[in-house]
Amino acid sequence: MTYAAGARLSTFANQQRLPRLPVPALEDTVGRYLKSVRPLLSAAEYSQTERAASTFTKDSELGPILQRRLLKVDAEAPHSWLEDIWLKKAYLEWRDPSYINVNWFALLADNPDFPLATDAARGRPTPVQIGRAARLITHMLEMNEALNREELPADMQRDGPLCMNQYKWQFGTTRIPKPGCDVLVNQYPSTARHILVMYRNQTIEVPVYNSDGQRANISQITSQLALATERIDSLLASQALPSVANLTAGHRDDWTRARAILEQDSGNRESLAKVDSSLFGVCLDIDVDPQDSLDAERCIKVFNHSDAGANRWFDKSIQLVIMNSGRLGVNCEHTPVDALTTGRLLMEVGERERGPVKDTKPCADLGKPAPIQWNVGPEVVQIIDKVRKDAGVLAGNLRIVLGQMESYGAQWIKTLGVSPDAYFQVALQAAYYRHYGQPAPTYESSSLRKFLHGRTETIRSCTEESLAFSKAFGDRDMPVKKKLVYFQQAIAAHVELSKAAAAGQGVDRHLLGLRTQIQSPEEAERAWLFQDRAYVKSMSFALSTSNVTPGERFRGGFAPVILDGYGINYAMDRNDLKFSVSEWLSSSVTDAPAFRQTLNKTLEDLYEAGEYAKNQK
């Protein structure tokens, strides 16, 4: 991705140039679907799936009817036929906790201007923590102001502009629990005057603008944060305060019920409005041993789920998390915005943080930080206790390990004449086959932002070609030269799939759209394609993957999407490859440390094969 160069267009100047996301032809999608499931099925299973697909697409059957209904949705949608369907089905109707299951997390690079306070006292905020937080808050506010003025340069790719609509949902956005289907609330331009600070599991409204809209300078924000922590320390010294924020880590129905009870009180309604409207969250963590914060895996765990979901408001679209050592991470709610989009903002903030301090004049009449008050009765306390217990179990079930290939990176991969992303995906398929002796249904996220209001499509990375290479790669009797032929075929297949997905010609989003057009149980029984067992099998993604390159300042992750699967987050920098592997410990199938070792060995073996190929030229 590149940013606009030369004369700057306004942030949204290219929106009218963007095409609408197409509705693919039914026969094309079903054909791609059949090709995607072929490596996962036996000959008998594939024959049955072919029959189900053929029946589904006949003129007299349900497929064409669903397609016509979806085309009508497209004709009536203001921007994209997929937009509302994806928001509801992928996110807002999800009732299990957003915590861990939906939210993504990352460790960001250290700032040399703020050396880590490794000798800090556990349980206390530090000047490094407060000082770095103030700088970060300032740069986040600068980004929001640039968006409000439409001065953030538009994202561009080589073949044209990308949709910037997601940026309207970065600031002042919160997910609100509702029965059956949550909602998003936000304001664009985002003109709230305050941020939400979390400290010792308490919520604090911290003004960062005065009533005239003048931004506080860095010194003032530093003082605001120090005063906020002092006020919470004072309150907790005299009384026990409920941790209402813990509710955001719970099952969405538990949180819905608790919020409905809270909203019966006018004071609570005002408190919730302060949280919901805040520009973003800042979590000041003091309970991690500063020595532990030197370990990246320990940091990743904390930024993901802290102590049973404490000291976070997981419904905020962006939360900066700063440890008392000065380490920085983020926890972001995935519903309104994709990780790469938020990642661009965070990378810009990181760039600005490393520059010289350019402080502004202090603003007058800045309001003081105010702990947000809650009136909590026994029923809500009971729900909080339940959520803390459930969140602790969920957090204890997730394991995340980090991996890195330091001997080579994207620069070397390109010398082979192949796409770095395709290279890693093919390596991942080979590693899984080497580890388990079978192929893995695989999800790779592909951006649809070349289309108006585009989000993502799935690249089904497990192909017949990648399976053939995986088998060949483990064949000790096969010459390396022949293995590399299979490798190039697997790479070419992945590149074609990637191009199709980015062009709106994937499989999963279209099939999802068709499924949402089913109107009765009788129709559901006639939807032969979806009744076939191969459909569920192909969507049980044993590998859920996302490329977040560049990764020089960004190490993130997410949870697996099935019990017996892995979540693989990876980034390919010039001279190294970084990745994380997550798993559910309750699975009897997965073993993240062992799979990391297999993936490392596979990447090493591929390097040797690549060097052999180069030497033969």
For residue 64, how far is the Cα from the chain centroid?
34
Cis ω for the linkage preceding 177 (within 30 of 0): no
Residues 6+ apart with CB under 8 A from 597: none
Q: Could you identify the residue written with the tokens 């006018």?
A: 266
Which of 132, 281, 259 is CA-nearest to residue 206? 281
Query: How many residues does the structure list for the chain?
Result: 617
Which of 126, 138, 265, 150 is CA-nearest to residue 195? 138
Distance CA 586, CA 397 (A): 6
The SS3 assignment for 370 reads strand
| Annotated catalytic residue within 251, 334, 453, 510 | 334
Cis ω for the linkage preceding 550 (within 30 of 0): yes
Residue 279 sits at φ, ψ, to 5 deg, of -65, -40
Distance CA 615, CA 477 (A): 21
For residue 390, how far is the Cα from the chain centroid?
22
Residue 185 sits at φ, ψ, to 5 deg, of -120, 135
For residue 305, indicate whether it is catalytic: no
Distance CA 614, CA 80 (A): 46
Distance CA 186, CA 164 (A): 16
Tokens of residue 30, six digits: 């079903």
Continuous H helices in 358-456: 378-397, 410-415, 420-436
Cis ω for the linkage preceding 115 (within 30 of 0): no
Distance CA 303, CA 23 (A): 38
Q: Which residues are catalytic?
A: 334
